Structure 1
Amino acid sequence: MLIRILGFLLETLFFVLIGAALLRAWMNYQRINMRAQPGIFVMAVSDWIVKPLRRVLPTAVAKSRVDWASVLAAFVLALLYALLGVLLIGMLSGGIPEVSPTLLPALLLGALKMLLRVALQVAFIAVLAFAIISWVQPGSPMYGLLGRLTEPLLAPLRRVIPQIGGVDLSALVLLLLLQIGLMVLG
């Protein structure tokens, strides 16, 4: 029971850390002001790992529009999560797992799976929040921010899916697609 609780807490902690690093990368890519929420929170949570990576990355990579330091931070965190997950599973089995030739590919695959899962979940949360705010408070500053974050994801669907009765169903379709993606990963 204690191991399951530790696993849950570990997964929650790494979801927040990886999600913050990915959201930071996405907000920087979209040129969204980081001096307002959620930028302040994202920077507070991820500065400890992103800033040192920025100093280590080559200048050409650092000057790219893509925030590679944040992407790399998310991957390193996902890799650490996979490693801790293997150790936790080993503890359930009664010891530390042996280092084998399949361990590194398994860790990389686990890290990639966690990274994709967090990216899909963060996108799901952003699209859901955008859809709710578009009905409740479409003039709010959060509506504009969420619109900028989700527009690149919704725009391709809006070109294909017609409005029905003046209602844009692209957010609903994207939520379904993201949920299917999460099911496939699971």
Structure 2
Amino acid sequence: MLIQIANLILQVLVSIVAGACLLRCYLQWLAFNLGAGQSKSIGAYILPLSNWIVLPLRRFIPSIGRFDLANCVAAYLLILAKIAILLFISGAPSIDISWLALALVDMLNLTLSGLIGLVFVSIILSWVGTGTQIQFLVSLLVNPLLASIRRVIPNFGALDLSPLALLLILQILQIVLGNLKI
């Protein structure tokens, strides 16, 4: 029971902070201005969640072009720490190399889960409101993924099947990752 409670708490906390690191990495790759000084910017939420771990890592880990490697390493380290704590609580033997692979699979799974959530939010916002700041941000995040699918799937007029195709692809990838974990 203690392990399940610890797993739940750690999963929520690590998902929020590591997710913020991964979102920050993706936004910076898209050349989005996080606007640290703007109160209504997404950066006002993401930066405080991730600065404490990302900024020290940036001293040692350089960016690769537009790809901010420090954000990915921060997310990976958070997930690795979660796994280590859970294995320590459960009384697992000493550190094993499989922990590193498990942390990588968990980070990829977190990324896929976040993308699935963004696709659902994008679909809902396309029905409800237009022109809002949140819809602009979600479109900025989802449209690069949908663009490649829209080149392959024919246009059916008002019916856009590309979000459905993207959801299928993301869920298939999650199944593959789930089987790698076993």
TM-score band by shorter chain is: 0.7 to 0.9
Q: Corresponding residue for 2:137?
A: 145
Q: Which of 88, 93, 98 does residue 98 from structure 1 map onto? A: 93
Cα offsets for 1:146-177 (capped at 9, x unmatched)? 11111221111011112324221111111122
CA distance in 1 between counterparts of 2:156 and 2:64 reads 43
Is the CA contact 1:162–1:168 (under 8 Å) kept in the aligned structure 2? Answer: no
CA RMSD of aligned residues (A): 1.6
Where does 1:9-48 land on structure 2 (aligned, <5 Å)? 9-35=9-35, 36-48=40-52
The answer to whether the 8 Å contact 1:117/1:185 transfers is yes
Does the alignment pair 1:7 with 2:7? yes
Structure 2: stretches of 5+ with no match in the other structure? none
Partner of residue 181, structure 1 = 173
2:156 counterpart SS class = coil
Summarize deviations over 1:26-60 as a string: whole Å, max 9, x none: 01111112134432211111000001111223xxx
Letter in 2 for 1:23: L
Aligned equivalent of 1:93? none
CA distance in 2 between partners of 1:181 and 1:170 (Å): 16
Identity of matched residues, %? 37
Match of 1:56 in 2: 60
When residues 111 and 178 of structure 1 are mapped into structure 2, their CA distance, relative to the original with a 3 A threshold, is: same
Deviation at 1:63, TM superposition (A): 6.8
Q: Which amino acid aligns with 1:163?
A: N
Residue 83 of structure 1: aligned partner:
84
Cα shift readout 1:63-100 (whole Å, capped 9, x = no counterpart): 7311111111111112112212221332xxxxxx332x
Q: TM-score, normalised on structure 2?
A: 0.88
Asked if 2 retains the 8 angstrom alpha-carbon contact of 1:120 and 1:182, the reply is: yes
Alignment match of 2:120 (pick from 115, 128, 151): 128
Q: 1:157 aligns with which of 149, 154, 163?
A: 149
Q: Comparing 19-28 with 160-169, which one deviates more in the overlay?
A: 160-169
Q: Which amino acid in structure 1 is aligned with residue 17 of structure 2?
A: L
Instruction: Give unpaired runs (5+ residues) of structure 1.
Output: 91-96
Question: How far is the alpha carbon of 1:124 from its aligned partner?
Answer: 0.8
**Mean Cα deviation higher: 19-28 or 171-180:** 171-180
